[in-house]
Structure 1
Amino acid sequence: MIALLNQKLVILFMTSCLVLSGIPAALCMSSAPVVYVAGDGSGDFNCDGKDDHIQINQALKFVAENSAYTTVHLKGPFTYVIDETLLIGSNTILEGDSSAKIKLVSNANWAVWKPMIKERSTGNSGITIRGFTIDGNREGNTNVVSGKGYYNLIHLSSCQNINVYNMYLTNNHGDGLKTDKCTSVKLYNNKIYLLGHDGLYASSCSNVEAYNNIITCRTNSGLRLYNTNKASFHDNVITSEGSGGAGIEIQKYNTPSMDDIEVYNNVIYKTALAGIWIFGSGSYSASTANVHIHHNQIYDTGTKTSNSIIGGILSNGFGGLIENNVIDGTYGAGVVQKTVYSPAPSGSGFVLTVRNNIITNSRSSSAGGSGYAVNNELKGTHSFALQNNCFYGNAGGEYKNVQASSSDIKADPQYADRNRHDYHLKSKAGRWNGNGWVTDSTSSSCIDTGSSSSDYSAEPQDNGGRINIGAFGNTKYASKSGTPIVDNNQAPVINSIPDVTVEAGKSLTFTVSASDADGDSLAYSASGTPSGATFDSKSGFFSWTPAAGQEGTYSVTFEVSDGKLKDSATAAISVVKQENSSPAAEEVYDNRLREASPNTVYQGSSFIDVGGMNSFRYRDVMRFDLSEYETSGEVGNAILSLYWYYPSGTLRPEDTVIEVYRPAASWNPDYVSWSKKDKGVAWNNAGGDWYDKNGVLQGSTPYATITLKASE
């Protein structure tokens, strides 16, 4: 009876746990802040590849209702098939493994404007979507028309602080990311491939930024603004495959201001329509529509030549500054102002300043134009101001309905490699090739010929004091000016180092020195140094006391470098066994050093000068010459006898203290003076170079002091 009761208890417990695991409650969740959705049963919410929106929405709802949680993570590899919109709330991250995919069910039959992901409620803030794939299943939903609002991948309205990044957005009938009346929107580091409308469509938004995206258009544009201000599109690569629209589309209608728009550092190529299309309609002041387009590379755009919306940059209803772009091989025109879609706005004063651009090889088309570099088809209300551009090889010529500028150049810009779309400028002084600086046999006429009012400070030296024309002007990759810089640096010369012999147990010290004609700062190094030896890389001071058992000959190589060039010398250091002492040495050299006579040699005097008098200093250098003795000899004792002379009848005002230091360099007693240590060789420090007891160069701790009392 007891066993049966226990069995029932076990069964009841297991059943209860199964029931609990099926509801979204914190009891069985992963620890905050992440909950997991999986297709293999390992998640907090588990899917089976059908109606997976149920579990994903449960996870999103759980995060929205539990403040300790912030993130829903989709595990991969798995394809989550959804048949309803996913709802994301404030301060929520929807992320996934790169092998995780959300895919629209086939034959969805959703109403127009129903997206795959949208906000949980109006006004949501802090929405992040990152790291996985969203597939709109275009081939499984062929009953709708692309570009009509069906099945946008992400559509957010009246939200703030939106970040969508590291995503793969693909294969639908609508937009990748559509935002209406949102603020602070960022789209970056995404791959966007063959969508049914725009990659990004920001409508009536502010503070929008899209960058580092790789976009291949199929139906409409890569990036688009409508009545949106404070926006920047930069560092994107945009193209079309087969069909599509413009690379970037900027559209204004009526009064909302669009006067803070920047488009820069993009590569836009082979789009079906214009590389950049800017247009407005309705009624508004020209001051409310302004763009700044700079440092873009636009080539081979407008491939759908039967369409009039083609060219490099096409504009109406906007003013602004177009500078430092390369526009090459585009159909219709390089830069054109004309009406192609909706009537141009009423009013006038729409002026585009075009400066420092290179526009080359524009091609004609039946609908787009004859291939002019710059074309104005709206000359009654729109105009160009041209400054310092380069035009070359344009099928229709340089200008149509445009006042020519005397500062424009009409010459081959000398691209590094047009066939490979390398638009750096050839230069004898240096051109960036993607990996380093190379030189050419010719220099482009676009170097140093940009507008004198343009900033050039970001260009590398030698930059000629003026901006280059083209997409790399005023960047760190601008081609260099002038002639190649010749490095006249001379190598340092290391002074000879004699071979030396030292007894085991005795100290060996010497200083390695060098000269440099350029006066460069020098650094020393040594290789092959024996165990226990030290070498100072700054001063060149070598010190070693070999131990018993280290007898033998050591080959030590010393090297000096000025940071670019080097010199070296090798010395043989022989260590011999310690032997008895040899006779004492009596030969001593001393020289006086007088600051008042800095170039006078005082040699072999019977007295020395030390100290200071009348604002001048006096020093003495002294050495013992042991060269006449056997190299195996040992100096067991050295006595220096100094006799102090002071004129009789003269009072000594104070004690005299003589300080003894170790020399840091050898000198020649025949030439040594306050200024020089040898013929034509100066001390590093006038008055002599020394080490103090602590090994500090020119230090102030003497090895010994001799005090002569004033009272004696």
Structure 2
Amino acid sequence: MIKDSSDTVQLEGKTYLIENPIQMKSGVTLQGVAGKTTFLLKENANWEKWVPLIDGNSLKNVRITGIIFDMKSDKQQVPYAEGYHNVMYLKGCSDVEIDGCTFINGRGDGARFKSCTNVKVHDNTARRLGHDGIFVVDCRDVNIYNNKVTTRKNAGIRNWNSANVRIHENSIDAQLDGKGGYAGIQIEYSKYFENPDIEISNNVLTKTWGPGAQLIAYTDGLEINKGVLIKQNEFLQCGQSNNIVDTGGISIKGLDGAEIIDNVCDGCYNAFVYVSSGGDGTLIKGNTIKNTKPHIEKALAGTGAGIVNSAGSTLEISGNSFSNNANGDTYNVN
């Protein structure tokens, strides 16, 4: 338990064995010595579902910095990706900063937030986790940047029903041993927003297992028709999976009206943009799309083209540069 609620808790550069969850308090900076302070979860920590290593509810002005979180997944008995052993789970908090941390060997998420505002997550590393690296749910005013994430079970960075989110300058790849996870960046909406105001920019997505970026909408989210901008990113050999159907550079599954502008796609599998449902009003402009290859295993219609419109959606395509794509520039595009 952190008892000082108005100051910095300076940790030593050593390994701390964590036997019980840590309850954060408002006004606290939990500061480690970069590269030296490690929180090591005890073996067989059979905590209840949704009990994280660091917990926080309705807090203000919280910072966690410079700590390696080793969740020791190979020595745990709880299931992967079912809400157990998230490194941190902050709910209803405001003015939160997570930086300079490492999240490794987990059975849940790295940093997870719900109904939080003014959140900054930057300069962290995440790998060998059991769910998402960074996951924001029903949040507002979120800035996620300069993180290095390697997926293993699900997405690298994921947004579900959040607004005013900036995801930029991150580097995302996959484990590539058959447990590579899913999307590099996953944007998901089941609620309606007139303008969710999402910007994904200047990220480098390399050899992701599923799509580099995935745009999902269902139920009330199907009414969204603007507010997601994907610009100036690099999608390099994305879509390494042999079984994910919508793998590739950018997958659209239900979300309308995205703007995909000035990105570089080089050597992605299946397609740069693969539309399986929704997608009406999507703008695809000024992108460099080259060396696209067919899906590694599945014989999908149009696979290997630069843009594949399996849904027959109305797309606006202009000013792109296409070269050396295995099945041509576009498929099922008027």
Normalising by the smaller structure, the TM-score range is over 0.9
Match of 1:328 in 2: 266
Moved beyond 2 Å, runs of 4+: 254-259, 283-290, 366-369
Checking the alignment, whether the CA contact within 8 Å between 1:331 and 1:368 is kept in structure 2 is: no
Distance in 1 (CA, whole Å) between partners of 2:112 and 2:250 is 24
Answer yes or no: is the 8 Å Cα contact 1:229–1:257 preserved in 2: no
**Partners of 1:228 and 1:258 within 8 A in 2:** no
The aligned residue for residue 317 of structure 2 is 386
Q: Secondary structure at the match of 2:272?
A: strand
Matching of residues 111-126 of structure 1 within 5 Å: 111-119=48-56, 122-126=57-61
Which residue in the other structure is 2:68 paired with? 133
Over 3 Å counting, the alpha-carbon distance change for 1:284 and 1:178 in structure 2 is closer
TM (normalized to structure 1)? 0.45
- The whole-number CA distance in structure 1 between the counterparts of 2:299 and 2:288 is 20
Matching of residues 157-176 of structure 1 within 5 Å: 157-176=91-110
Deviations 1:170-199, CA, capped at 9 Å, x for gaps: 110011100011111111011112211111
Q: Deviations over 1:647-706 (max 9, x none)?
A: xxxxxxxxxxxxxxxxxxxxxxxxxxxxxxxxxxxxxxxxxxxxxxxxxxxxxxxxxxxx
**Which amino acid is the alignment partner of residue 290 of structure 2?**
T
Conserved 8 A contact 1:218-1:241: yes
Structure 1 unaligned blocks of 5 or more: 1-56, 404-712
- Cα distance change on mapping 1:216 and 1:287 into 2, 3 Å: closer
The answer to whether 1:371 aligns with 2:304 is: yes
Please state how far the C-alpha of 1:257 moved relative to its aligned partner: 5.0
Whose RCO is larger (CA < 8 A, sep 6+)?
A: 2
Instruction: Give 1 or 2 for the bigger CA radius of gyration.
Output: 1
Rounded to whole Å, the distance in 1 between the matches of 2:227 and 2:299 is 24
Match of 1:238 among 147, 168, 172: 172
Contact 2:246 2:276 (C-alpha < 8 Å) held by counterparts: no
Residue 292 of structure 1: CA displacement? 0.6
Q: Structure 2: how far apart are the matches of 1:258 and 1:172?
A: 34
SS in 2 for 1:268: strand
CA distance in 2, matches of 1:83, 1:285: 44
Q: Distance in 1 between matches of 2:84 and 2:226?
A: 31
Counterpart residue type for residue 274 of structure 1: P
Q: Deviations over 1:204-247 (max 9, x none)?
A: 11111110111111111110000011001000110001212111
CA contact (8 A) 1:227 1:257 kept: no
| Structure number having the greater strand percentage | 2
1:220–1:245 CA contact under 8 A, matched in 2:
yes
What pairs with 1:431-510 in structure 2 (closer than 5 Å)? none
- 2:289 aligned partner: 359
- Is this contact kept in 1: 2:195–2:224, CA < 8 A? no
CA contact 2:81–2:130 (8 Å) conserved in 1: yes
Is there any run of 5+ residues in structure 2 with no aligned partner, and where?
none
> Secondary structure of 2:69's partner?
strand
Residue of structure 2 equivalent to 1:543: none
Distance in 2, matches of 1:357 and 1:294, equals: 9
Q: Deviations over 1:487-545 (max 9, x none)?
A: xxxxxxxxxxxxxxxxxxxxxxxxxxxxxxxxxxxxxxxxxxxxxxxxxxxxxxxxxxx
User: Structure 1 counterpart of 2:321, which letter?
Assistant: C
Report the Cα distance in structure 1 between the residues aligned to 2:249 and 2:205, rounded to whole angstroms: 9
2:120 is aligned to 186
Query: Would the aligned equivalents of 2:193 and 2:224 in 1 still touch at CA under 8 Å?
Result: no
Identify the residue that residue 211 of structure 1 maps to in structure 2: 145
Would you say how many aligned residue pairs link Structure 1 and Structure 2? 326
The answer (yes or no) to whether the contact 2:225–2:258 under 8 Å persists in 1 is: no
Deviation at 1:287, TM superposition (A): 4.2
Correspondence 1:257-656 to 2 at 5 A: 257=194, 259-284=196-221, 286-287=223-224, 289-315=226-252, 316-339=254-277, 350-365=280-295, 366-367=297-298, 369=300, 370-379=303-312, 382-403=313-334
* 2:23 equivalent among 70, 82, 87: 87
Q: In the aligned structure 2, how far is the partner of 1:297 from the partner of 1:71? A: 38
Per the TM alignment, residue 288 of structure 1 is displaced from its structure 2 partner at its CA by: 5.1
1:96 paired with 2:29, answer no
Q: Map of 1:138-157 to 2, 5 A cutoff?
A: 138-141=73-76, 143-157=77-91
Which position in structure 2 is the counterpart of 1:108? 45
Change (3 A) 1:237 1:155: same
State how far apart, in whole Å, the 1-side matches of 2:186 and 2:173 are: 13
Distance 1:324 1:368 in 2: 29
SS in 2 for 1:397: coil
- Residue 338 of structure 1 and its aligned partner are, at CA, apart by 0.7
In 1, the alpha carbon distance for the partners of 2:163 and 2:196 equals: 7
Secondary structure of 2:74's counterpart equals helix
Query: SS of 1:371's equivalent?
Result: coil
Relative distance call for 1:266 and 1:74 in structure 2 (3 A) is same
